[in-house]
Amino acid sequence: MNRGNQLKQMFLSQSRMLLREKQVWFWGIFFPVILMVIFMVIFSDGSDDEFRVKVVLAEKEGAESAALRERIKHIPVFEFVEADPVPVEKAENMVKEKEAAAAIVLSGEGEPVTLIVNKENERSTSSMTVQGILNQLVQQANLEAAGASPVYQMQTMSVSSGEDDLDYQDFLLTGMIALSIAQGGIFGMVDFVEMRRKGLLKRLRMTPAKMGLFGFSDMLVRFIFSVFQIILLSLIGVFFFGATLHVEPVSLIIIFVIGIMAFHAIGYFFSSFSKTSEAFFGVANIVNFLMMFLSGVFFPIESMPGWLQPVSDILPLTYFVNGLRDSMVYAQGVATLPFWIGIGVLVVWGAAAFALGTLLYRNNRSIAAR
């Protein structure tokens, strides 16, 4: 028998089936792309789009505060709704109507500078920012009035373990890639449930077809599809949202291959005890949602409550996300301990799921064949 021709026909057939399956297009391509675009639009402050707060200046009658006013006007974060100071009452109304985030009321020397904010937004970032800036300004003015110069000064600097230009885009992009590959792996295995339900596995066993070859070409098709996913998502992330990648090819290939196999094995395990595709999707969805939010796809695990973090520590997606991030963004090579711990956890998950699934398939065989 011509194995080459058999493999070619199997590969062709499986590629066609994959591309003709609408579910694959939706969950494999559209869903991750849409989700990524939404999250990026919401959470990434575009780099050219600076943070601005709308404020209004008000002056009490007869206030002597020209110097302070000039100084406030030069703070770049503030965007003034009115060019000139307005009466206090008008400013108050503007804050109530939310035309301005805050009103700064200047008065004569010796009297306090009042900040008016809307009660609803009392604790919002904008209000806090204005408050902070104003506080600093007043103190500085006081110091100057007293003829002193500041001894301590503060400057903020962001750091990450990788390159300097790490952004939320990069974080989210790699998370989304990991998520869509994991989802593709788990959900893709619904084919097995369908094939078994329709008696196709049985049908193939009645022919001289090499089942091992069939499984191999199936994996090959899924690998290629995942490569396509990773490239597409990366292109969107880089070109539309300015993500910056620093790829370490060797570690990327290793984590990519191990990850795909592990998540397919988990899907295979789910398929082994699901009699219908509905049952399969039920189980797969629960697991998928748990992993989606607890594995640091959208937000760092460290920002979750402490009691939840041990759950993240056992989920395979956590390690896949970290591995992909390390090899795509932080340019980490294979010579680190966390990399191999991650690989180890994924291998354990994959091997256990595969072994259990195979066991269940074997036990169900007499029933399936009846």
Partner 1 sequence: MSVLEVKHLRKSFGSVKAVQDISFAVEGGEVFTIIGPNGAGKTTTLEMIEGLVKPDGGSISFGGLTWEKDAETIKKMIGVQPQSESMFDLLTPKENLELFASFYDRPMRPVEILETVNLLDHCNKKVKVLSGGQRQRLAIGLAMIGDPKILFLDEPTTGLDPQSRRNIWDIVLRLKEMGKTTILTTHYMEEAEKLSDRVCIVDQGKVIALDTPSALIGKLTEERELRLSFFDGEEAAMDVERFVRAHSWAVRMERDGKYLAVWTVQPEDMLHSLFGYTKERGYRVDQVSIREMSLEDVFIACTGKEWRD
* 3-class state of residue 132 by DSSP: helix
Q: Are 60 and 88 in contact (CB under 8 A)?
A: yes
Q: How far is the CB of 101 from partner 1 (least distance, A)?
A: 56
Binding of residue 211 to partner 1 (CB under 8 A): no
Nearest distance, CB of residue 21 and partner 1, angstroms: 6
- Residue carrying structure tokens 């290629």: 224
CA dihedral 339, 224, 316, 296 (to 10 degrees): 80
Please tell me whether residue 1 binds partner 1 under the rule CB under 8 A. Answer: yes
Residue 235 phi, psi dihedral angles, 5° rounding: -60, -45
Q: What angle do CA 340, 266, 215 make, to 5 degrees?
A: 100
| Other Cβ atoms closer than 10 A to 61 | 8
Among 73, 90, 198, 362, binds partner 1 (CB under 8 A): 198
- Which residue in the set 34, 66, 143, 200 belongs to the binding site for partner 1 (CB under 8 A)? 200
Nearer to partner 1, 9 or 139 (CB): 9
CB-nearer residue toward partner 1: 24 or 40: 24
Tokens describing residue 28: 């494999």
Under the binding rule (CB under 8 A), the answer on residue 208 touching partner 1 is: yes
Report the residue from 90, 203, 275, 362 that binds partner 1 according to the rule CB under 8 A.
Answer: 203
User: Tokens 């703070």 belong to which residue?
Assistant: 75
Q: Which residue number, 196 or 264, has a Cβ lying nearer to partner 1? A: 196
Taking the complex as a whole, the smallest distance from the CB of residue 224 to partner 1 amounts, in Å, to 17
Give strand pairing partners of 59. Answer: 106
Phi and psi at 102, nearest 5°, equal -155, 155
Nearer to partner 1, 73 or 198 (CB): 198
Q: Nearer to partner 1 by C-beta: 10 or 116?
A: 10
Of residues 20, 74, 119, 123, which one binds partner 1 by CB under 8 A?
20
